[in-house]
Amino acid sequence: MHLSSPVPPRAALLVTACVLFCFAQACASTPKPAAQAAPAASGSATANAAACDHFADQLCEKLGNDTEPCVSMRNVREWLPAKACADANSDLDSVLAHVAELRKSCETLTERLCAELGADSGGCNDVKHDMPRVPAGHCAVLLSHYPELVAQIKEHQERDKPLDDTTWHELVAGAPPAFGPEASKVTIVEFSDFQCPYCAQAAETVKQIHDKYGDKVHLVFRQFPLSFHENARAAAHAALSAHAQGKFWQLHDLMFAHQGALDRKSLEGYAAQSGLDVAKFKKSLDDDGVDKLIESDIALGRKVHVEGTPSMFINGKRIENPTSFAEVQPAIDAALAQ
């Protein structure tokens, strides 16, 4: 997982694991371009296209439309010689039988995981959901790394458990940037990085939350600048400096709107646009105490297994895709209805 991306949805766990394990075996690497065959002769082009479509459809039905072999077949079929797909169709039964044999290891993997995780567990349900997307043949690799796979799934399940009351209190305590009454029925905590492009999308989600729910929710913003974003730390520092003057959200919006320009001179310009006392703002940018606040937020994020930005929690429960208001809204509505 790329650290500037949202945490992958639970439904992609096995696919992610497959990529991680298979990469080491060179089975998930980008395939080498095949030598280009001569295009089919014009007189047989239509018949050849139909034959290739049939072969691809049958193969993809067994492999899954999103799998690498299926996508590759659909991409190269127009370059195949006139007889290639016809010949392939004549031996289609043996091809599909081979795929079925390969998928037996997927069935074995599903049975072992569900036996260990619990047949009625969310983990087992996720495995059953994911398995059709795992390329045929890769399940054998996953089986050979079974202990690591189980550990990864259990770690993911642990990460997704609702936070305990003590930890949740730590996330909302103090005086971090926030909007909405602290006594609201719904409290949201977001960990974000001002240089992360996905966080800019989440900022739009936050705006929609504010506009739709107003005082019904309390939203807390925590700093989580990623080390490979060269200006993220300075932007976090600037945000907290603005917060000290009661202008956090004004600067928040400007920085996300201008992610490509977060150098110090630009930050000072945004401070002026936000109505800040620029002299006090400049002094605050050099204050080591603000750095300690940033480190405290980062430590909180690590404690609750924040692996990337943006990360969002609603009443202690992690939200999988905070960049989408359409996915966040049902969780807020459900919390309000409780």
Per-residue pLDDT of the chain (338 residues; tens, 9 = 90+): 334 444 444 445 555 555 444 433 333 333 334 334 444 444 556 766 788 888 888 888 877 777 777 888 888 877 888 688 888 888 888 888 888 888 888 899 999 999 998 998 878 888 888 887 787 678 888 899 999 988 888 887 777 789 999 999 999 999 999 999 999 999 999 999 999 999 999 999 999 999 999 999 999 999 999 999 999 999 999 999 999 999 999 999 999 999 999 999 999 999 999 999 999 999 999 999 999 999 999 999 999 999 889 999 999 999 988 999 999 999 999 999 98
User: Three-state SS string across the chain, please?
Assistant: CCCCCCCCCHHHHHHHHHHHHHHHCCCCCCCCCCCCCCCCCHHHHHHHHHHHHHHHHHHHHHHCCCCHHHHHHHHHHHHCCCCHHHHHHHCHHHHHHHHHHHHHHHHHHHHHHHHHHCCCCHHHHHHHHHHHHCCCCHHHHHHHCHHHHHHHHHHHHHHCCCCCHHHHHHHHCCCCCEECCCCCCEEEEEEECCCCHHHHHHHHHHHHHHHHHHHHEEEEEEECCCCCCCCHHHHHHHHHHHHHCCCHHHHHHHHHHCCCCCCHHHHHHHHHHCCCCHHHHHHHHCCHHHHHHHHHHHHHHHHCCCCCCCEEEECCEEECCCCCHHHHHHHHHHHHHC
The whole-angstrom separation of Cα 138 and Cα 102 is 9
pLDDT, residue 23, reads: 38
* Residue 330, burial from CB neighbour count under 10 angstroms (0-12, 13-18, 19+): exposed
> Which CATH class for the 165-337 domain?
alpha beta
Whole-structure pTM value? 0.66
Count the neighbouring beta carbons within 10 Å of the beta carbon of residue 50: 13
The whole-angstrom separation of Cα 63 and Cα 103 is 9
The whole-angstrom separation of Cα 278 and Cα 101 is 69
Count the neighbouring beta carbons within 10 Å of the beta carbon of residue 156: 18
pLDDT, residue 337, reads: 95
The whole-angstrom separation of Cα 115 and Cα 153 is 14
- What are the boundaries of each domain within the chain? 10-158, 165-337
